[in-house]
């Protein structure tokens, strides 16, 4: 789960980079940019859920 979240964060950022560098200003670029951030948000959620009290002591 942790690695999946990690990869989704990186993938979302790659989509954003691609949108910024390769697409001309306009609707498609905005859509790709927002999609990239959406993928990052999913990755962040997965990353957060993979860390429930992993190493902590629960006395």
Interface with other proteins (CB under 8 A) = 6, 9-10, 12-14, 16, 20-22, 24-25, 29-30, 33-34, 36-37, 40, 43-44, 47-48, 51-59
Angle at which helices 27-49 and 2-22 cross, to 10°: 170
CB of 38 to other proteins, least distance (A): 10
CA distance 46 to 24: 32
Three-state secondary structure call for residue 56: coil
């Amino acid at each position: 789960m942790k690695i999946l979240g990690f990869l989704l964060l990186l993938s979302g950022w790659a989509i954003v980079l691609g949108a910024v560098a390769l697409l001309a200003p306009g609707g498609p670029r905005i859509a790709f940019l927002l999609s990239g951030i959406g993928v990052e948000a999913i990755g962040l959620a997965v990353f957060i859920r993979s860390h429930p009290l992993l190493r902590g002591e629960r006395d």
